[in-house]
């Protein structure tokens, strides 16, 4: 399933979305605002604590959802390991969040290694 253009446009406008990764029982265990970027028709998040982040580990294993303007989107969290794609996501973070705290952390190698693409279920 693909993201529609209206949702992608809104994701480009907002500062954060609510991140709801699922635990092993399929229940959301977190309601956490998180920065989001898009490139073309793809949506990306990064874990501030890197791959050790609980939401990162649970999201990859169990999926979850994001909330945007009261609408919930069920997603799979797919790790990104292509260096060119990770670099493009870093540039998207710099463009969207330039000068905001904690941009330096979010473009660090630790966070870049914890880049995920959100794929609609």
CATH number of this structure's domain 5-120: 2.30.110.10
Which distant-in-sequence residues (6+ apart) come within 8 Å of 4 by Cβ?
A: none
Calpha distance 23→78 (Å, rounded) = 16
Mean pLDDT of 18-29: 95
pLDDT in tens, 64-77: 999 999 999 999 99
Answer whether 0.85 is exceeded by the pTM.
Answer: yes
In the chain, the percentage of residues whose pLDDT exceeds 90 is: 96
Domain ranges of the chain: 5-120
pLDDT in tens, 40-71: 999 999 999 999 999 999 999 999 999 999 99
């Amino acid at each position: 399933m693909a993201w529609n253009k209206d949702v992608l446009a809104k994701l480009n406008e907002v500062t954060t979305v609510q991140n709801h990764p699922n635990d092993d029982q399929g229940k959301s265990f977190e309601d956490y605002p998180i920065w989001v970027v898009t490139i073309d028709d793809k949506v990306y998040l990064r874990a501030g604590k890197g791959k050790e982040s609980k939401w990162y580990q649970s999201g990859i294993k169990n999926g979850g959802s994001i909330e945007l303007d009261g609408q919930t989107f069920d997603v799979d969290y797919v790790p990104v390991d292509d260096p060119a794609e990770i670099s493009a996501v870093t540039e998207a973070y710099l463009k969207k969040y330039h000068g905001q705290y904690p941009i330096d952390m979010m473009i660090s190698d630790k966070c870049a290694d914890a880049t995920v693409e959100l794929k609609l279920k």
